[in-house]
Amino acid sequence: MVNLLESMHKCCLPSGVPSESASAYEKSLVHRIFGGRLRSQVKCTRCSHCSNTFDPFLDLSLDIGKATTLVRALQNFTEDELLDGGQKQYQCERCRQKVVAKKRFTIDRAPNVLTVHLKRFSPFRPREKIDKKVDFQPVLDLKPFMSDSKV
């Protein structure tokens, strides 16, 4: 489904418009229906400075390893991740030092139609499929997963 949407997105663009450009996402019929925007926010635990990055998406790829419902998978997706050292150490723009920080994904702009990809393969056991039932309701309230300013 995701590959189909990406191909349709590219085919619907006017000639000469790169498919990754911001204007492409605004003009594409596919993106107007299925497209949303994610906010990745990193917060310094030393000075509380927040750095925000925004990225368009056509689907959300959700880990189901520790989730039995779609809501739980979304809760896991939007939980704070501690960046506390090693490869995950963060350089604060304000402090100009490597610090412990918290990273969090939220939906900044919800799509009209949300497409979800359930990750059924573990990065630790790539040949082993996660074969379990994931429950979901016919209607999904995205408010708990939205950026604070969008609720």
**What confidence category does residue 24 fall into, taking pLDDT thresholds of 50, 70 and 90?**
low
- What is the C-alpha to C-alpha distance for residues 31 and 58, in angstroms, rounded to an integer? 7
86 & 55 share domain: yes
Q: Decide: pTM greater than 0.95.
A: no
- What is the C-alpha to C-alpha distance for residues 34 and 130, in angstroms, rounded to an integer? 26
- What is the C-alpha to C-alpha distance for residues 59 and 22, in angstroms, rounded to an integer? 17
63 & 137 share domain: yes
| Share of residues in the chain with pLDDT > 70 (%) | 82
50 & 106 share domain: yes
Q: What is the pLDDT of residues 2-15, one digit of tens each?
A: 677 777 767 766 66
Residue 96 φ then ψ, to 5°: 60, 35
2 & 40 share domain: no
Q: What is the pLDDT of residues 104-127, one digit of tens each?
A: 999 999 999 999 999 887 767 767
47 & 7 share domain: no
63 & 134 share domain: yes
| 129-148: average pLDDT | 91
72 & 142 share domain: yes
